[in-house]
Amino acid sequence: MGGKVDLEPILEELDAASALDGLEQTNRRLRDTLGIDHIVYHWVDSAGDQYGCTTYPQSWVDRYLTQNYHRIDPVILGCFQRFHPVDWKRLDWSGKAAKAFLKDAMEHGVGNQGFSIPIRGPNGQFALFTVNNSCDDSTWSDFTATYSRDLILIAHYFNRKALEFEANRQPEFSRTLSPREVDAMTLLALGYNRAQVAHSLSISEHTLRVYIESARFKLGALNTTHAIATAMSRGLIVV
């Protein structure tokens, strides 16, 4: 975990992946490139079915599944309520079940530090992209500050590829956004407020609202934040 490394080759490798085993290989390469312990792409659907692309030990993966840990995992529960990346230290580990889960995880080789990125897919689908390591708080803080933006982009690449390979996880159809809707959603995703977006696009805020509502409807989103997350997860916008 020294100086920052160029992750562009990883993105190119993800683009070129044509099967799930390609994601597994890229996952391991990304872990080694970043010099951390583990990287996980974890999917849980509404029926409780799970899919994983992980570098965790198989013994932990098996135990996680047999114990149905997704029902009590503070990372799953905490991130399901969020749209933004979160450091594990910000999650609630105070409960008895959570403490027992964390103890079990660390005994199976899971590191004490984690950074998870929630991903909202089509039709309300939910996934997590997590980087995990064993180190002190200061080292981990430096790492997440250095790589958070890159990891967010890679997380959405992973999800988009996984959706391509798993046909039964895709929606029956996907409406595309217009160029203006893409522009509006991209600027909002970058943190611009509505007035700034309208000024940048040389349109009124009323017209901007029409674009946003149209995009939200096409994406089946509950609100603007959900629409942005959904557009990113489908690869319709890239921040």
Dist CA 62 CA 146 (whole Å):
32
Q: Which of 112, 144, 168 corresponds to the end of one domain?
A: 168
List the CATH number of the domain containing 74.
3.30.450.80
The model's pLDDT over 13-59, given as tens digits with 9 standing for 90+, comes to 888 887 777 888 999 999 999 999 999 998 765 555 667 789 999 99
Residue 67: inside a domain: yes
125 touches 30 (CB < 8 A): no
Residue 45: inside a domain: yes
Dist CA 132 CA 37 (whole Å):
6
Domains of the chain: total: 2
Kindly state whether residues 183 and 68 are assigned to the same domain.
no
Dist CA 160 CA 154 (whole Å):
10
Kindly state whether residues 73 and 128 are assigned to the same domain.
yes
Kindly state whether residues 157 and 197 are assigned to the same domain.
no
Kindly state whether residues 136 and 81 are assigned to the same domain.
yes
List the CATH number of the domain containing 202.
1.10.10.10
Residue 195: inside a domain: yes
Q: Which of 114, 136, 168 corresponds to the end of one domain?
A: 168
Kindly state whether residues 164 and 189 are assigned to the same domain.
no
Residue 173: inside a domain: no
Kindly state whether residues 54 and 77 are assigned to the same domain.
yes
At residue 217, the pLDDT reads 81
Kindly state whether residues 214 and 183 are assigned to the same domain.
yes
Give the residue-averaged pLDDT of 217-238.
84
Give the residue-averaged pLDDT of 142-171.
80
Query: Phi/psi zone of residue 191: left (φ > 0), alpha (ψ -120 to 50 degrees), beta?
Result: left
Residue 59: inside a domain: yes
pLDDT band for position 176 (cuts 50, 70, 90): confident
The model's pLDDT over 186-218, given as tens digits with 9 standing for 90+, comes to 999 999 999 999 999 999 998 898 899 888 888
Residue 27: inside a domain: yes
The domain containing residue 161 runs over which residues? 7-168
Residue 108: inside a domain: yes
What percentage of the chain carries pLDDT values higher than 70? 89
Kindly state whether residues 64 and 142 are assigned to the same domain.
yes
The model's pLDDT over 97-124, given as tens digits with 9 standing for 90+, comes to 999 999 999 999 999 999 999 987 665 6
Kindly state whether residues 12 and 81 are assigned to the same domain.
yes
Q: Which of 142, 168, 194 corresponds to the end of one domain?
A: 168
Residue 174: inside a domain: no
Cβ density class 87-107: b for 16+ within 10 Å, e for less: ebeebeeeeeebeebbeebee
Kindly state whether residues 202 and 138 are assigned to the same domain.
no
The amino acid that residue 129 corresponds to is F
Kindly state whether residues 119 and 57 are assigned to the same domain.
yes
Running DSSP on this structure, what letter comes out for residue 48? S
Give the residue-averaged pLDDT of 140-163.
89
Taking 3-state DSSP, the helix, strand and coil percentages for the chain, each rounded to the nearest 5, stand at 55, 15, 30
